């Protein structure tokens, strides 16, 4: 079965209890389930990985080049995750960068992503709906 890679970076493992006024109350398990529901009709499964360590995320990306695509929320690594950026630049499939909060409505240091320029697309500020939208975008970009 074709696999979609779902990658979440630092502090996203505590979604649901982490600043719910910013990130909402959905957990990472809720997000994984929602993405799975979106792509299941196409026969895709979701391989999910969350880590607070950049090297773990890099290894996951490098070990999964044959997935159909990826949804990546790098968290704060978007600002300084250069090894993550390089791994994603070498990832041969389309992938979408997702952020739950509106990064432009937050602190100035969150306004630049080193990862976004190599992404197939970027979605931010739509809460966890952004993950489902990213899954739909990948469904439309990946041929059977």
Note the pLDDT tens digit of each residue in 33-82: 999 999 999 999 999 999 999 999 999 999 999 999 999 999 999 999 99
All structural domains of the chain, each given as residue ranges with its CATH number in brackets, are 3-141 (3.40.50.9100)
What lies within 8 Å, CB to CB, of 95 at 6+ separation is: 5, 69, 70, 71, 72, 88, 119, 120, 138
Catalytic annotation, residues:
23, 99
**pTM for this predicted structure:** 0.94
């Amino acid at each position: 079965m074709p696999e979609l890679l779902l990658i979440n970076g630092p502090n996203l493992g505590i979604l649901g209890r982490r600043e719910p006024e910013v990130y909402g109350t959905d957990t990472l398990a809720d997000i994984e389930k929602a993405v799975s529901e979106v792509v299941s009709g196409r026969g895709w499964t979701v391989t999910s990985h969350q880590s607070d360590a950049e090297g773990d995320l890099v290894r996951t990306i490098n070990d999964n080049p044959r997935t159909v695509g990826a949804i990546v929320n790098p968290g704060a690594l978007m600002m300084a995750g250069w090894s993550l950026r390089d791994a994603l630049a070498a990832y041969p499939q389309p992938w979408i960068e997702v952020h739950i909060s509106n990064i432009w409505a937050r602190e100035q240091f969150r306004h630049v992503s080193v990862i976004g320029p190599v992404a197939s697309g970027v979605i931010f500020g739509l809460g966890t709906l952004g993950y489902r939208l990213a899954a739909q975008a990948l469904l439309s970009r990946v041929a059977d």
